[in-house]
Structure 1
Amino acid sequence: MTLKELKIFLELSETQNILEISKKLSITQSAISQSIKSLENKLKEPLFDRIGKKLVLNERGREFKKMTINPYNQLINIQYQFLKEKIAGTIYVATSKTLGTYILPQIIFDYLSKNRNILIKKDIQNSTKIIENIKNGKIDLGLIENEVDDKDIIKVKIKEDELIIVSAQKQKELFIDELKNKKWLLREEGSGTREIFLNHIKGVFDIDIFMEYNEFEEAKTILINNPDTITCVSKEVVKKELKEKKLYEIKIKNLIFKRNMYLIYHKNKTKSELFEDFINFIFDSLKIK
């Protein structure tokens, strides 16, 4: 049964005058009769007695009215609230590690502070998985640190990220191959940070990776406690440690490590007011025009 059928039934249960209901609901008398007939067919029994030209509720019709009037009113109220509150609902977001750990959390916190009817479910995944989940509709929005060229994906540049070489030991500006004998810590295979760094030094020297890590905090602890270790990370990751002089940036001659960060979504994604509002909030937070 439909809300429309219930509405006509409840109106007719109060007023047997089909012409009056026709004018009130702006539908034909024939449409009213068809709606009641459709409802009765679905319930497999009549709800009205046909007395002359009048439709009068019978005993089963009175019972059906008693059972449906409160749920119907609740559904109408839900519909009203849903239409009224456009900025409400749940957003599924997946981000790569740097964005998801150091940039997006504050943005989400600020957004939720202004919008209490919203739930944002965030997961940290690698870029390949995020793109896959965007394409199969499992998430609404992705934020990645890798390039993507896919006809089904809309991408918007949100930030330029600088990768830097850091160590607990302060050093002068060097050529990259002068760091060849350091104990290099690098992210695990598949990491965007690792790929960008290795591509930049390709042909300069073959790096001997002393240790791989998955979590930034793990690498920071090793770097701080072992001055002969070194790594390449996003500047966003070590802002605090650089300020506190626990770690130092090593300037590299003739090399700059940069990458773009993107917001991505499926080209066929329905842009609800909530979706648009959250995206615009991200842009405003990152000062994107």
Structure 2
Amino acid sequence: MLDKRYQTLISLAETQSFTQTAKQLFITQPAVSQQIASLESELKFPLIIHEHNRITLTTAGFKLANFAKQTSLESQKVISSLKTGTEHLKMGCTLSLSSTILPKFIQQLSTRANVVTTKINNTQHILQNIRDGKVDFGLIEGNFDKEEFDSFFVQKESFICVTHNSIGGNSIEDLFNQTLLLREPGSGSRNIFENWLATQNYRITDFKNVIEIASPSAIVELLKQGSGISFMYQSLVADELKSEQLKKLDLTGFHVEHPINLVFLKNSYFKETYREIVESV
């Protein structure tokens, strides 16, 4: 539905190259230049900057490209839903929420829409999937740019220090001699813990030993073996805490709750659909 010049701008924003854009769109390089020049003439402001045989988009150019990309992705989704009369939703979810909140969402969504894709990864990957149109929305616990994304609050989750019964401590300083089992960079739970540490003037490197593990379930199993400590959502270890396989450490000054949000692109055409989803769960 978009003017082909905007499709060219979208590609140019991704490739930062007239040559690569031409190859991607199966047109000539002069055609790419002409389309961008035509768009700049019509809009009456520059979209690209030439610097030493390289190009980069202006701030306005990047904003327009992002808007055009969102419009293109959502227009395809609107047409598809009109043709079939069914909403086909692609959702993403962070690893920490995949075993707790996700099943409840899928159960509710199955009564009103066809969930054709569910991608599970860390927060940064899910946000990139939303940008790229690989998912329509994501359930995340991490931070996100409120200038780029919109959201609806789902619920709050308690974020705790958890370990084996044989390990103790009353403050964060007491735990620096322990092995810290930590999610990989880009995960929401790691971001939450690192931000809290910073408020106490500490860093991850203050721990004697740090092991990065991408799987929350693997971290839980290692904790049960007495292999260290970790910081995670209480709901992830609710059963283990109840059966006393693991315990929560109530550290001085550590009281963290974090919101879980349903996140989607700013100014989305489907904003009300997402609101209805959250209200139904």
TM over 0.5: yes
5+ residue gaps, structure 2, are 1-80
Q: Which runs of 5 or more residues in structure 1 are unaligned?
A: 1-81
Say yes or no: does 1:283 pair with 2:272: no
CA displacement, residues 52-100 of structure 1 (integer Å, 9 cap, x when unaligned): xxxxxxxxxxxxxxxxxxxxxxxxxxxxxx87985x2310111111223
Amino acid at match of 1:220: V
Match of 1:169 in 2: 165
Q: Which TM-score applies when normalising by structure 1?
A: 0.60
1:261 alignment partner, SS class: strand
Q: 2:190 corresponds to which letter in structure 1?
A: R
**Helix, strand or coil for the counterpart of 1:188?**
coil
Question: 1:269 corresponds to which residue?
Answer: 268
User: What is aligned with 1:60?
Assistant: none
What's the counterpart of residue 105 of structure 1? 103
Structure 1 contact 186–209 (Cα < 8 Å) conserved: no
User: Relative to 1, partners in 2 of residues 1:99 and 1:230: Cα closer, same or farther, differing over 3 Å?
Assistant: same
Listed as ranges, the matches of 1:211-226 within 5 Å are: 211-226=211-226
Shift of 1:162: 1.9
Give the whole-Å Cα distance in 2 for the aligned partners of 1:134 and 1:259. 21
- For residues 267 and 109 of structure 2, the distance between their equivalents in structure 1, rounded to whole angstroms, comes to 25
Structure 2 match to 1:186 = 182
Q: Distance in 2 between matches of 1:230 and 1:195?
A: 17
Please tell me whether the aligned partners of residues 98 and 236 of structure 1 are also in contact (alpha carbons under 8 angstroms): no
- Once the two structures are TM-superposed, the CA of residue 246 in structure 1 deviates from its matched residue by 1.0
Cross-structure match for 2:25:
none
Q: Which amino acid aligns with 1:235?
A: Q
Displacement after TM superposition at 1:104 (Å)? 1.2
Equivalent-residue separation in structure 1 for 2:84 and 2:195 (angstroms):
49
Deviates more, 1:159-168 or 1:143-152: 143-152
Compute the displacement of 1:214 (Å). 1.1
Paired with 1:126 and 1:258, the residues of 2 have a C-alpha distance of: 19
**TM-score where L is the length of structure 2:** 0.61
Structure 1 residue 215: Cα displacement: 0.8
- Deviation of 1:266 after TM superposition, in Å, equals 1.9
- Residues 154 and 195 (structure 1 numbering): CA distance in 2 closer, same or farther, change over 3 Å? closer
Please tell me whether the aligned partners of residues 91 and 120 of structure 1 are also in contact (alpha carbons under 8 angstroms). Answer: yes
Query: What is the DSSP-based 3-state SS (H/G/I as helix, E as strand, rest coil) of the residue aligned with 1:139?
Result: coil
How has the CA–CA distance of structure 1 residues 197 and 84 changed in structure 2, closer, same or farther, with 3 Å as cutoff?
closer
Aligned residues: 197
For the structure 1 residues 208 and 257, does the alpha-carbon distance in structure 2 shift closer, same or farther, using more than 3 Å as the test?
Answer: farther
